[in-house]
Structure 1
Amino acid sequence: MSETPHRTTRGLDPQGHIAREGALTRVPPAFRPVVTAARERLRDVLGARLHSAYVYGSVPRGTARVGRSDLDLLVASHEEPTHTDRADLREFERTLDREFEQVDGVATLLYSRARVLSEPEQYDLGWFVSCLCTPLLGDDLAAYLPRYRPDSLLARETNGDLAALLPRWRERVAGVADTEEARRPLVRFLSRHLVRTAFTLVMPRWNGWTSDLHEMAEAFAGYYPERADEIRAAAARGREPIGDPGVLRSYVDDLGPWLAREYARVHGVKTPRPDGP
């Protein structure tokens, strides 16, 4: 079991680097059986192809809610993932989700070791693994990555692609089924993304890191009071979504475009990736 990382103020260590959030020791008791099962089964699913595995999100932060939170995993493979690898993991997710009622879904990100450690990903995917993921299996890739500060470079490379994402979001909003049930997951997803983008917009000035949506919203509010209520409402919907079509339209037609413009003005635009934003 990994130890609880040392923390000082606002998620930074004494040297001002972002401290790794989460630890296996923080996993709530109700979620420990599913984390253990995931660790054991990933070895069987990928075998020698598996380099390392991590758990992230509310479960290792200790804030997961029984029956409401999902289990988020990241897996690094020795080689570039194949269609077979991805299909095997989808079946792994479905099986785990069926067996453990305490989780509301299982989601696994899959990348190669080389992709995580690549130069273009150093301040995006690499930072994510190093700071937001808790080691579960294998050789921890954080040992091969730099320490990170909450600076403008990190802000740009993590969330500086909102303008490029908005056309896809509009397509999703236009295509979602016209029901409350169908719209709720999309509201939750877009709400969380917008709050995190709003937070990283002000992160260098706030000088810290948090994954708590409400804390993110309050940090943003201190610098952009004119948009504070919108981001606070988005933070609430990120936890308790409502399937309101008006909310979705406001995200893609107003709040999202404004945030994309302000982000580009303050931090610039994320470096393009070979496979797109």
Structure 2
Amino acid sequence: MAGTLRQRGLDAQGYIEREGSLGKVPHDFRPVVAAARDRLLDVFGGRMHSAYLYGSIPRGTARVGRSDLDLLVVLRAEPADGDREDARLLGEGLDKEFRQIDGVGTLLYGRARVLSELERHDLGWFLACLCTPLLGEDLAEELPRYHPDSLLARETNGDLALLLPRWRERTAAADSPEARRPLVRFMSRHLVRTGFTLVMPRWNGWTSDLGEMAEAFAAYYPERAEQLRAAAVLGHEPDGDAAVLRSYTEDLGPWLAEEYARVHGVKAPRP
């Protein structure tokens, strides 16, 4: 039983194991990570409580020239506009300097929010289970262990219905394949992850692999399986097809939002 659980990202007690580590960072990306560490210290200094990597680089699955660098920075106070601008400029600089990466995404939050009760099963879970410590004291030590249960499902992805109106606006504004391609990538990944967390408690495990997520979903919703499998492919290799975005905002997305609310309920409102 323990072996089966570990294969699905759980430990012997059924808790989600933390994925990723600095030891898994591929050789080609180590200079990028080292530069990010140094520049985070230079830019944020004493304002920063801790910093983390997440995504394909610390999981060891990053592809040179195709993967982005994902960072989570936790400040001692809530971030201000100046902090966000600093993070943007830091990311732009790294992206221009290192051919290994295709963009930098930096999440910026205050320590109090990360540890708040409201974020316990969303942002807190994300840090504790999906982020790899890079700098500072690891806030995972102040957070609980997590089971792949309905509460976690609801609080991580139970807000899809609220996102769809904005997705439609962004789709309408994207008037070229080049403008649509990043939207296809983003929405594809979001829908696959939402489809997976919909079935996560029944599947009883965790994975960040889009293909595995789609297959887990397919076992419970075979009538929608091909849509999610196709989205998993587009999450890695997006095209600029407007019809794909329309299918997400007018078919798959609304259906998934309704089914999610029926099974797990709706995510607690945020301020």
- TM-score bracket for this pair, using the shorter chain length: over 0.9
1:244, 1:83 → 2: CA distance? 34
Match of 1:186 in 2: 183
Deviation readout 1:230-267 (Å, 9 max, x if unpaired): 00000000000011111110000000000000000000
2:88, 2:248 → 1: CA distance? 30
Aligned residues: 267
* Runs of at least 5 residues in structure 2 that lack an aligned partner in the other structure: none
Match of 2:18 in 1: 20
Deviation readout 1:5-33 (Å, 9 max, x if unpaired): xx822000111000000000000000000
Matched letter for residue 204 of structure 2: N
Match of 1:253 in 2: 250
Pairs within 5 Å for 1:1-277: 8-177=6-175, 179-274=176-271
Matched letter for residue 86 of structure 1: R
**Segments ≥4 residues shifted beyond 4 Å:** none
Q: What SS does the corresponding residue of 2:51 show, helix, strand or coil?
A: strand
Deviation readout 1:23-63 (Å, 9 max, x if unpaired): 00000000000001101110110011010000000000000
Question: TM-score normalised to the size of structure 2?
Answer: 0.98
Q: What SS does the corresponding residue of 1:120 show, helix, strand or coil?
A: coil
Structure 1 position 147, deviation (Å):
0.2
1:86, 1:216 → 2: CA distance? 32
2:193, 2:49 → 1: CA distance? 29
Match of 1:4 in 2: none
1:151, 1:8 → 2: CA distance? 16
Matched letter for residue 194 of structure 1: L
Structure 1 position 131, deviation (Å):
0.2
1:258, 1:58 → 2: CA distance? 29
* Runs of at least 5 residues in structure 1 that lack an aligned partner in the other structure: 1-6
